[in-house]
Amino acid sequence: MTDAELIARVLVSDDHAAFGELVGRHQSAVRHFLRHLSGGDAALADDLAQETFVQAWRGIGRFRGASSFATWLLGIAHNHWRNARRKQRTVSAEPEHLAALETVPSQAPLSDLRHDLGRAMQTLAAEEQTVLHLNFQQGLTHSEIADVLQWPLGTVKTHLNRGKEKLRPLLASWNPTI
Amino acid sequence: MEPDDLNSLSPDDAKLEAWLRANASLPRLPDDGFSCRVLAALPPVSRKARVSERRRVVLCGAAVGVIVAVALYFAGTPGDFVWPTAGPAAGDLVAQFADPKLPVALGVALVTLGITFWRQVCRWVRI
């Protein structure tokens, strides 16, 4: 059954099973994205992901199908993360989320390549990291990234190009041809 | 310095992109009960469903009413059915009900209203 058919079932009869299937399909992308945004804080990311899906359940009538369901969900997730960060900032001056990357222990041993890639990514600006994450780790197109982040397409491309240029020398040891 | 054309990929860019796509993709996260957690957190069935259920019942009732009215119209000659008027003697009103068509129409209307507003009726009775 396609996403569109499952969404129709949710709309027509508040079908929990159909929505559960949608959650199962998209949980990985949403949780990965929120883990990225929250600097690897899996507990916070999962709480935000849960709120994201509950929000999606409430607002599924507003999904018009102009973008894919995954893109729509990632947009909601990004808004939730921004709101959470705003609240956190009013409570205490937390360090930028990127700094947390180094303090979060990884749950599984990373390969050397992944480790180096992660370290290289940390040297980039937050916007560059997010755009690269959505493009190369989640497989979104430039216009989908612009939809998710609510940024102009040109801004997305600029961050992407800057990020790639910064990564190039850092990853040269893995592949001299790049 | 940005490239002049952000849409064009140099051969080096294409290689870097291909390398990143091949090596940076993330493994799928196991669900580990996440979906169940989300489903448990969903609010109860929204009013939306109840409203649409009510709308269906009202539409069915209206359709039945229309069918009955049309059937009655074609069953009798025009002028057979006389609307009760205010003011006449009670005997006239009783005479109207002697015709089975009116009680049938009223019955359909009452059943439709009863089904449609069953929840509210139950709530009033409880109060």
pLDDT digits (tens, 9 = 90+) for A127-171: 999 999 999 999 999 999 999 999 999 999 999 999 999 988 888
Q: How confident is the model at residue A104 (pLDDT cuts 50, 70, 90)?
A: very low
d(CA B38, CA B40): 5
Nearest CA in chain A to B19: A178
Instruction: Report the gap between the CA of B4 and the closest CA in chain A (Å).
Output: 11
Q: How far is B117 from chain A (nearest CA, A)?
A: 20
**What is the pTM for the complete model shown?**
0.64
Residue B127 has pLDDT above 70, yes or no: no
| Residues of A in Cβ contact (< 8 Å) with B20 | 132, 136, 164, 167
Read off the pLDDT band of B118 (50, 70, 90). Answer: confident
Cβ <8 Å between A117 and B23: yes
- From residue A64, alpha-carbon distances to A67, A146, B106 in Å are 8, 17, 43
Query: Closest residue of B to A51, CA-based?
Result: B38
**Complex prediction ipTM:** 0.77
Residue of A nearest to B27 (CA): A28
Q: Are A54 and B42 in contact (CB under 8 A)?
A: yes
Residue type, position A137, single letter: Q
A115 in contact with B, Cβ within 8 Å: no
* Cβ atoms A135, A36 nearer than 8 A: no
To the nearest whole Å, the CA of B64 is away from the closest chain A CA by 24
**pLDDT tens across B33-66, in order?**
999 999 999 987 655 555 566 677 777 877 887 7
Among candidates B6, B28, B34 on the partner chain, residue whose Cβ is nearest the Cβ of A161? B6
Q: Across the interface, which of B24, B31, B49 has its CB nearest the CB of A27?
A: B31
Residue B115 makes CB contacts below 8 A (sequence gap 6+) with B57, B61
Q: How far apart are CA B58 and CA B16, in angstroms?
A: 62
